[in-house]
Structure 1
Amino acid sequence: MTKEGLDRGPIDEFDRKILDVLAEDGRMSITDLAERVGLSKTPCLARFRRLLSTGYIEGFKAILNPAKMELDHVAFTEVKLTQTDEKALSAFNAAVKKIKEVEECHMIAGRFDYLLKVRTRDIRRYRLILGESISGLPYVASTSTNVAMETVKESGNSFGKMKG
């Protein structure tokens, strides 16, 4: 890697520091970011742009308060498919992305095929989404729901301190 980290190779310790700081505060100015990671402004900006253009940083978003928006009911839905060939997986993946209440969707290696994190205002709304949207997704054989009683830790998409 060059002194300023301008090549397209693997990330180094300065890049990891930049990512750690931005994960805590993505609205920080480049000047403040440079100061926090121990670089001058120009090389910090170059690294920031490279991390953005190479996909290490996918974007920026506001982290909303679900309780204030009356969206603090969280259910985790286990989904078992009727088949798991590529056609079925692709169809399910495309369709589940269209359900706005599905906050996360993970393909699972285990006793079921997908785990969905579903956020709604209450159990009635969840039941409606389950019955009218999730159960009707392509190739769904069965679902099982676990309701979160309390959120102890939720980090959004911040990974904390990055390891080498």
Structure 2
Amino acid sequence: MASANFDVNATDRRILRALQENGRMTVQALAERVGLSPSPCLRRIRQLEAAGIIAGYSAVVEQKTVGLPVSVFVSIKLERQRANNLDAFGEAIRRWPEVMECYLMTGQFDFLLRVVCADLEAYEHFLREKLTQLEGVASIESSFSLGAVKFSRALPL
């Protein structure tokens, strides 16, 4: 969790933009790119990590090349929107690796999920064996992605 009193300055933003583009960049290359020497650059990275602004590092894996070409956006409405119902749903969702993202929403539906799977049959299995088995689910609406127009993990800093 980010520290509320950490002041992100222009140099920090340059560091964050560069690391979002290439998280494997060496400290030397990063320092050159943002106009610092390596020691202050590394110190700044460590401060950003300690403040929770940099939450971690990961590889972006192309889902199609690993056999998971189907993305399904699933809108869920619960029978009741009490805190314990919302928490129970969230707890179940966190256990399922097919669910890449889950958002608590305002409006017509309570949750929006992005689910990835190999094919229609795999999604049907997920729907029948997991989603429809959850207590308190009033409705499920699935929309299949035909393709991604834009996908980014980089925040507009």
Indicate the residue corresponding to 2:18 in structure 1: 21
Report deviation, 1:139.
Answer: 2.1
On the 8 A contact 1:96/1:137 being kept in 2, the answer is no
Among 56, 59, 70, the residue aligned to 1:59: 56
In 2: Cα distance, 1:53 partner to 1:138 partner: 39
TM-score (norm 1): 0.90
Q: Secondary structure at the match of 1:135?
A: helix
Among 37, 49, 54, the residue aligned to 1:40: 37
Indicate the residue corresponding to 2:133 in structure 1: 136
* Structure with the bigger percentage of helix: 2
Report deviation, 1:85.
Answer: 1.2
- Give the aligned length: 153
Report deviation, 1:16.
Answer: 0.7
Runs of 5+ consecutive residues of structure 1 not aligned to the other structure? 1-7
Matched residue type, 2:47: R
Report deviation, 1:141.
Answer: 1.2
Q: Secondary structure at the match of 1:119?
A: strand
Report deviation, 1:125.
Answer: 0.4
1:117-136 to structure 2, matched below 5 A, reads 117-136=114-133
Matched residue type, 1:41: P
| Aligned structure 1 segments of 4 or more residues deviating by more than 3 angstroms | none
Matched, 1:154 2:155: no
| Aligned-pair identity (%) | 37
Q: CA RMSD in A?
A: 1.1
Q: Which moved more, 1:133-142 or 1:117-126?
A: 133-142
TM-score (norm 2): 0.93
